[in-house]
Structure 1
Amino acid sequence: MSQPLHFQARTAETAYADLYRNAMLDPSLYTDPAIFEAELEKIFYKTWIWVAHESEVREPGDFKTAMIGRQPVIVVRDRTGTIRVLENRCRHRGATVCDKRQGNANGFTCPYHSWSYGLDGKLRGLPYSDGYEDVLEKGDLPLRSLRVGVYAGMIFASFNQDIGSLDDFLGNARSWIDLFMKQGAGYPIKTQGEHKFRFKGNWKIQLENTTDGYHFPVVHKSFLESVDNETSEMLSFMTDEASVTRALGNGHSVMVMVPEHVDLEADDGTEVLQARFNHVIEALSAEMPMQKVRRIVRSLHGAGFNLNLFPNVSMSMSFFRVLHPVSVSETQIRHVALGMDGGPEIANLERLRIHEHFQGPFGFGSPDDAEAWERVQAGAYTGVDAPLLVNRGLNREKVGADGVRISHSTDETGMREAYDMWKRMMEQQ
């Protein structure tokens, strides 16, 4: 029996749990500034947040700045090789101590009063120190450190010092991360540039999108018309029964779009390589065995799935999509291109061209997605009598042998998993 399509008007006593029920969302989840502020405190400052990939901080002194909610942080590899995530905030008057996006440094110095910090965050020096005799001890004022966890090169951090292990948080998603990394074709994965933009909409709208197969042939019709027939055929998953979405727990989910490319090491040699890559095949065949050539060429489109890691990063076929909530109605997105670290340059260049075709600023995918997200935000102001539905596929959702919920790739199982986690975290005291 279908559920009534409305919510009661919100009051100060309305529980967060009442804003998501019966696979429906109260539109205030996208529009209420108070809910957004609570999300920063209860989710972004409490759980594991993806901040970098190890290839971005390879050597001692390598650093990258990032944001967790409104709080700036520095991801850095110190002199011992340890990866640290430090608050980008001087312990004196609070100024940021690093304003570069990425680089290599011996330490960090506040531009306001020149308090200087080592790569490990320790306060190393301060000018005119006689004014601080018997007032403070340098050892008491390091840059504050976050909890750090690394899995398969993915660096996560948390302000919550009591948080459980990263492995437990990732749970069932770990095996999918392992599969995703196989697109390195035997080489480690590396980042190779990014495209950054903002859209006028709530962060959860984008969170939903990564495992939303239902929109693909509609929103991305122009993209499908722009590619060769083989690529279009590969991405025609709407009626493929092997194309499924899995709810992995803790808000994570995965949507399989190209089942034959889920495990890129599983190649029986019968798959015909795309003609568009003949120039790559010809060049690589002169340097390496055909088996390795096949492995690289089959990996050029990335893995055959989108993996959504709650709350801020997705491993989307061949790139990382990172979301940063700016305000209740504005979100920053970073699309990070991936390559093979040490792999053939011709293959990495081809991966960049594929990335630009869909994710780039003049690509066919990102602009269409952003317009759809902004339209959702605009429509969300209609009110409680027009709830947002995430109920597609409820009638055919099953529980697999591994205990996870499974439905078709066009169903909204992944969204329901994310909102189940949202509800649990928002209800915590």
Structure 2
Amino acid sequence: MASALPLGDPAPLDGLLPVGSDRDADSRNFGVYLHVPFCRVRCGYCDFNTYTATELRGAKQSDYASQAVVEVDLARRVLEQSGVPSREVSTVFFGGGTPTLLPAENLVRMLAAVRDAWGLQQGAEVTTEANPDSVDADYLKTLADAGFTRVSFGMQSAVPHVLRTLDRTHDPERVPLVVEWAREAGLQVSLDLIYGTPGESLENWRTSLESALASRPDHLSAYALIVEQGTKLARQIKSGEVAEPDDDLEADMYELADEMLAAAGYSWYEVSNWAANDTFVSRHNLAYWQGHDWWGIGPGAHSYVGDTRWWNVKHPAAYAERIAAGHSPAAGRETLDATTRETERVLLLTRIREGLRIDSLAAEPRREVAGLIADGLVDGRSAIQGAVVLTLRGRLLADAVVRRLTS
């Protein structure tokens, strides 16, 4: 069962944003996220807003692209009527779910709607997530020909028993093949990995890292497994069927990843992300961390413009009903106050390599920086240059750093 939507105020049926949403908009980039909420199977660890064929309650995958196109046009009108200046889109990201369960032509059509609504910046980044078993060479070429620039494959692991625990269905031997097809199509390639799966040893994790590096992707993500309440994995752990993830082992796995990726020429630019060089960082994700604006299309998608955050109704059937009625699919929203904005700014900027400007902090948290350096959590050389940048130990304890800078 997917996680619940956050609490907030009801969103108006016309979707119009609060007065002031246009403030300083020209100083921020604008991105678009398109959520495709369909999966062949529900992975045991996943609490994302996704649905298998038996959970759609009458909604149809074949109708989804048309519905998303309608929301894109609604987004254009809402921003215009709310006084937010039109900006060309800097990044587009298709996530899920499994976007590539839809025909390639559907993704192309949704991208065309974004381009028609706002235009794309020169050199805009356009990414889709994909499972290794959900694409072939022709599919990837179709995307590249239409303006996609990047594909992020959900590799997760190269070890069969780890994939089984995660309920991942692809053959790990297919990963090098899809990477090759993506490169032939002219797409940048990212591989997503998960560590800390119950039953995964440090040597298993080393095998996955070696396998990923053998394909020489442009970008790698490595995320610690989080056991979310309500998931199959959480129930398995509660019943004793599988062991609970080991925090100390996860720390060892992160350190191994950082060591191996650095040795292979990759640099970290965010706590869980490494790139072969700055050309290959995920600019869409960086926009989230840097506080830029984005509109989220689709069931359960979140958006953020100015100081306002909102989220769509979750189920594809409810989303389809709203779209068919000509209403905004937004279910609720919140306007961030100054304290929340500052906490989130510190939380997000401390995660990235450029860090957080010390002179942007209030006096009391600024005094914490010296202690964070002494504790080995913040890099002293970067602090001399005016930025809070996490050390390797600091990345492992990033939440503790944020607490000390916001308490």
Report the TM-score, using the length of structure 2 for normalisation: 0.27
Higher strand share: 1
Higher helix share: 2
